[in-house]
Amino acid sequence: MQQSNTSVFNRGHIFLICLMGGIFIMGCNGDLPNNADKRFQPEDNSEAYDASKTSNISEEQNKFFHARKKMIETQIKARGIKDKRLLDAMLKVERHKFVPVQSRDLAYIDGPLSIGEGQTISQPYIVSIMTELLNLKGDEKVLEIGTGSGYQAAILAELSKEVFTIEIVEPLAKRSKQLFQDLGYKNIIVRHGDGYIGWKEQAPFDAIIVTCAPPYIPQPLIEQLAEGGKMVIPVGTYWQELKLIEKLNGKIKTTAIIPVRFVPMTGKRDK
């Protein structure tokens, strides 16, 4: 998950995002105000079956659908994302269900939002560019490091066969697991643990996506990447680059994509 003041890059152009005059931090251990943890309140579904509210529910769904369409046109396609399957997935996945109820009207803005536990949901464009780089066709086994809100995993689940996702913050891991069950995702497996070491017993993976920045590419993740596989990962300390890693004939090919700012990876790397 990238820092919320991340510059948005469209192959050479920089779009600096300032959200409500503040700077939010996104990532495996992002620092947000202490009261951020209290902002996420479980959705109360008790009114969902009140017949008198049916028209309001329908109106709300329609509002969010049009907000997603606008997000795709102005934030995603406008910045060069072209993969039709990815665009369809981002239209289908209801991003507002991955944010606190009180923040749902902001779910489709061009920036991150707090999800509690000192964490945020990533900006839609960052989700799209990292996903597009994986070039998923539908039959892949994918490893995600940093579940967060669960939004990225849901997008991956629409585009691949299986998603194995690791979250180091236990409440987020539990929350995301329940949300995936509620939304009917049967191809997402959640683990609470240290993403630096990957998920050896489920390796190899056709694709790996990392949402926090280590100073170097973790060797366990390289080892768990399948032959012909792709990994997208931000690498660096203060100055970071998003990198595409490909394993070809047993050799590693690294391509620098764009400068980014993500919070540091925590866990075993710190020891």
Predicted confidence (pLDDT) per residue in 220-254, tens digit: 999 999 999 999 999 998 889 999 999 999 899 99
What pLDDT does residue 28 have?
A: 45
Can you read off the two tokens belonging to residue 143? 């490893």
Cβ atoms of 143 and 205 within 8 Å: the answer is yes
Confidence of residue 32 (pLDDT cuts 50, 70, 90): very low
Predicted confidence (pLDDT) per residue in 57-91, tens digit: 689 899 999 999 999 999 999 999 999 999 999 99
Does residue 16 fall inside a structural domain?
A: yes
Does residue 38 fall inside a structural domain?
A: yes
Does residue 205 fall inside a structural domain?
A: yes
Does residue 49 fall inside a structural domain?
A: no
Catalytically annotated residues:
122
Amino acid occupying residue 42: P
Segments of 168-270 assigned E as strands: 188-192, 205-210, 225-236, 240-248, 251-260
Confidence of residue 210 (pLDDT cuts 50, 70, 90): very high
Edge-to-edge order in the sheet of strand 141-145: 188-192, 162-167, 141-145, 205-210, 225-236, 240-248, 251-260
Does residue 18 fall inside a structural domain?
A: yes
Does residue 117 fall inside a structural domain?
A: yes
Does residue 98 fall inside a structural domain?
A: yes
Predicted TM-score (pTM) of the model is: 0.80
**Can you tell me the mean pLDDT for 186-191?**
98
pLDDT higher at 32 or 152: 152
The pLDDT mean for the chain works out to 83
What pLDDT does residue 238 have?
A: 85
Domain harbouring 122, CATH code? 3.40.50.150
Does residue 190 fall inside a structural domain?
A: yes
Alpha carbon dihedral 220, 223, 224, 225, in 10-degree steps, equals 120
Give the structural domain span for 209.
7-42+54-270
Number of domains composing the chain? 1
Q: Which residue has the tokens 């070809």?
A: 248
Predicted confidence (pLDDT) per residue in 159-181, tens digit: 999 999 999 999 999 999 999 99
H or E element that contains 165 = strand 162-167
Min mean pLDDT across 21-35, 89-103, 194-208 is at 21-35
